[in-house]
Amino acid sequence: MTFIDKSRFRFQSRRDVCVGLPNGTIKLYPACFIEEHLDGSITLHARDKSIEYRRHEFREWFLDDIQIEEPD
């Protein structure tokens, strides 16, 4: 199943993405593209695999602190 027509990629280059889970922990995924879907789910596209989170499986996602600013 693909959401390509109903999703958007957030970055032009890979970034380290943190995902906040409902239990309060944070998981770090290095060097990913993030795809946001209309249903609220996200897909992280890493170099070797893709990781999917349904909307109820995460609270938020954000960039690793080092990457908040756009690179030069």
Residues 49-72: what's their mean pLDDT?
81
Cβ 16 vs Cβ 67: under 8 Å: yes
Pick from 58, 48, 50, 57: which is nearest to 2 by CA? 50
**How far apart (Å, rounded) are the C-alpha atoms in residues 70 and 72?**
7
pTM (2 d.p.): 0.75
Q: What would the two tokens of residue 37 be?
A: 């879907």
CATH number corresponding to 4-64: 2.30.30
Pick from 22, 12, 32: which is nearest to 56 by CA? 22
Residue boundaries of the structural domains of the chain? 4-64
Kindly report, residue by residue over 6-55, the tens digit of the pLDDT. Answer: 677 776 678 899 999 999 999 999 989 998 998 999 999 998 999 999 99
